[in-house]
Structure 1
């Protein structure tokens, strides 16, 4: 009796400790985020130029930090989700790699699209003074951050670019009317809603199909096929990312000519192919002629691809947080609404980089699991195809002059490989899917059922669904309403600020 009572007491203590730990974790993340924002507040208070707009510069810095936290929580999941879902990286390692690479990209090469965010979307009317312009940018940042916060809470990966664009448009309309918006640029952004996920999905599915038909479906000689084709795929990855980083990752410090970009791509392909051939041969000699073993050859290339994507993402998407802040600082210094030249100081980039890294570490795991595990099952091959497809899609879109969302591209790639798996499973070409349940005569599940109902259930049983449809609907709905939702929020915030400051 005494032992039984002691066991019960011990179980109660363990449950209490677990509940305390869970509570402390739920409190720690918001607490650390608040400490970061307070640090930004003190930092901005010491740097803000003296003048009537200093309060807006300080407020803009804090709101930019809040926006950066939400970018890290939501957008970075698209780069690391497939790697975590495929078990190529544990979550903790993925968070560290992503945080380092995102911050490095933001600091070393960030800010190329600052002018797009701060000047090219809104063309202020003459009656829009510098106070109105600064309030417009503050309202845009706050609205975009709030929308990303809500989307992260709902486990919906949305485009941070579209969020800030929607915020600028909504606040711009509230401040200066419909005529102030550059609608040609908005049309191009709206077109990317469809172009980004479709292109990313098709390219990811094509890459996965190529690997399946050249390597994984070669039942008798998968290892020999892997020796031949895996270095080619790694070379394609190296060449693509060499071009990607030349065009997008380092565009703030270096703008190479098209011939140089192509030369870098060819050099990257050759180097990747030549350097990985002996590595693949050594690894292939140690594995069995099984799909799971061959798929592990893609693990290291996948980790490299995810890290490179994070670097390029930090270089580009940091402007979504600090672009409006840079415009606010420039307006405060020049006294002009929408100044002709917006310079991006290093300290502004530091706020964005630190916020993205911290937001990822504190709030990113939930969405990383959603992208990597809950849409469709991932392995190293599928995740590698998604990462490579994201880079290829952005390259193609840049060459065609199409603005695309890296979020939409990556999520489209995840759906693309998932639907390809589903299609192949339903025609009997995907042996890695679960076996069909056998139905025996007299099974309780078959009793009291009409022939028509039995046929319908048999068809449903034979049609395998390897992509969770509810995530398709949730994510698509979040994408569609991102721009109008952020715009309405920003317009309302601008009106409130206008009334308060009147």
Structure 2
């Protein structure tokens, strides 16, 4: 085996490790509300999310193509650059996982990719038009999540104002299983594709592919890695999202999950790699704000917002330094 092929194997393994950490880190996106409202046991919720994550990964490859060819110049990127991007993203995921903060694996991966590309080829290595589109989507998806979550719960309250609380809770305990499943499917449809794009970028930069087209084995490997990570579950983040932002009942969980899933499925269709974490977290905030603004625990929320702001530059900085160190080796 030549050195280029060995480096490709290392990058693929590293990418699948990130995908695993993404599933582990982002298990809360799909199951936090359904666990906190006691609709499903933690074990059953995570198993359902893992299976539907895998299924969602096969929905399309539009996001993967954007990550693989729309953000950085493939001709400038090397295997070391891709490896450095993944190191930056994985390192930040691990830090925030132990802190119990639901930050964005999408932001971490994007920051790592841009930081490594800047280290490798300077400003010319980044496609700023594509980056701007992605950043706009990452910015507006949580805002849209908050608004849709708010409007969804208002619409439900209006439609069911004659229904007693007990009957409503019984109804939404049943249908929240559907909304949680839809959330898990939409998570797989968006997040697994980002790693598909990274692996495809490595294949193109190494000359193993002549264009950004996602091989079937890449889709399968990424789907299974994310599903396995989700099956293990990031329990500290699940507690933060499901219990510490706002007190949830089944109706709130249904509204937050349904509005988030709608956004994620739409953005996956248009090839926009948005943050599932930011979208579901902001939807939970929007649902909680309907009760009253004080229903949202703003102390915890502010900690989450700080972590959101830091994610891009932190992952980019780690990737920039890592790529520089890898280049010194040659």
Q: Which one of 158, 176, 180 corresponds to residue 213 of structure 1?
A: 158
Q: Distance in 1 between matches of 2:179 and 2:211?
A: 34
Instruction: State whether residues 152 and 367 of structure 1, in contact with CA within 8 Å, keep that contact through their aligned partners in structure 2.
Output: yes
State the partner residue of 1:71: 22
Q: Distance in 2 between matches of 1:181 and 1:214?
A: 49
State the partner residue of 2:64: 114
Q: How does 1:276-355 map to 2 (within 5 A)?
A: 290-334=164-208, 341-355=211-225
State the partner residue of 1:170: 115
Larger radius of gyration: 1
State the partner residue of 2:308: 479
Instruction: Please state how far the C-alpha of 1:401 moved relative to its aligned partner.
Output: 8.7
User: Structure 1's 400 and 175: CA in aligned 2 closer, same or farther, altered over 3 A?
Assistant: closer
Instruction: State whether residues 203 and 393 of structure 1, in contact with CA within 8 Å, keep that contact through their aligned partners in structure 2.
Output: no
Instruction: Please state how far the C-alpha of 1:330 moved relative to its aligned partner.
Output: 3.6
Q: Calculate the TM-score normalised by the size of structure 1.
A: 0.62
State the partner residue of 2:98: 153
Instruction: Please state how far the C-alpha of 1:172 moved relative to its aligned partner.
Output: 0.6
Instruction: Please state how far the C-alpha of 1:175 moved relative to its aligned partner.
Output: 0.5
User: Structure 1's 71 and 482: CA in aligned 2 closer, same or farther, altered over 3 A?
Assistant: same
Q: Does 1:415 align with 2:285?
A: yes
Q: Distance in 2 between matches of 1:321 and 1:72?
A: 11
The C-alpha deviation readout for 1:284-330, integer Å capped at 9, x for no partner, is: xxxxxx30332220222211121122123213211222322222234
Q: Calculate the TM-score normalised by the size of structure 2.
A: 0.91
Instruction: Please state how far the C-alpha of 1:110 moved relative to its aligned partner.
Output: 5.3
Q: How many residues align?
A: 330
Q: Does 1:372 align with 2:323?
A: no
The C-alpha deviation readout for 1:90-133, integer Å capped at 9, x for no partner, is: 11110110111112222x335432222122111256xx4xxx52
Q: Which one of 55, 61, 79 corresponds to residue 134 of structure 1?
A: 79
Instruction: Please state how far the C-alpha of 1:213 moved relative to its aligned partner.
Output: 2.6
User: Structure 1's 396 and 115: CA in aligned 2 closer, same or farther, altered over 3 A?
Assistant: closer
Q: Does 1:191 align with 2:136?
A: yes
State the partner residue of 1:470: 299
Specify every segment of 5 or more residues in structure 1 that has no aligned partner in the other structure, as ranges. Answer: 1-49, 223-289, 424-464
Instruction: State whether residues 197 and 409 of structure 1, in contact with CA within 8 Å, keep that contact through their aligned partners in structure 2.
Output: yes
Q: Distance in 1 between matches of 2:263 and 2:68?
A: 26
Instruction: State whether residues 110 and 318 of structure 1, in contact with CA within 8 Å, keep that contact through their aligned partners in structure 2.
Output: no
Matched residue of 1:177: which SS? helix
User: Structure 1's 395 and 73: CA in aligned 2 closer, same or farther, altered over 3 A?
Assistant: closer
Instruction: State whether residues 188 and 403 of structure 1, in contact with CA within 8 Å, keep that contact through their aligned partners in structure 2.
Output: no
The C-alpha deviation readout for 1:339-393, integer Å capped at 9, x for no partner, is: 6513333332333223222222334222122211111111111111011111333
Instruction: Please state how far the C-alpha of 1:410 moved relative to its aligned partner.
Output: 0.9
State the partner residue of 1:90: 41
Q: Higher RCO, 1 or 2 (CA under 8 Å, sep at least 6)? A: 2
Instruction: State whether residues 18 and 89 of structure 2, in contact with CA within 8 Å, keep that contact through their aligned partners in structure 1.
Output: yes
Q: Distance in 2 between matches of 1:94 and 1:193?
A: 27
The CA RMSD over aligned residues, in Å, is 2.3
State the partner residue of 2:227: 357
State the partner residue of 1:269: none
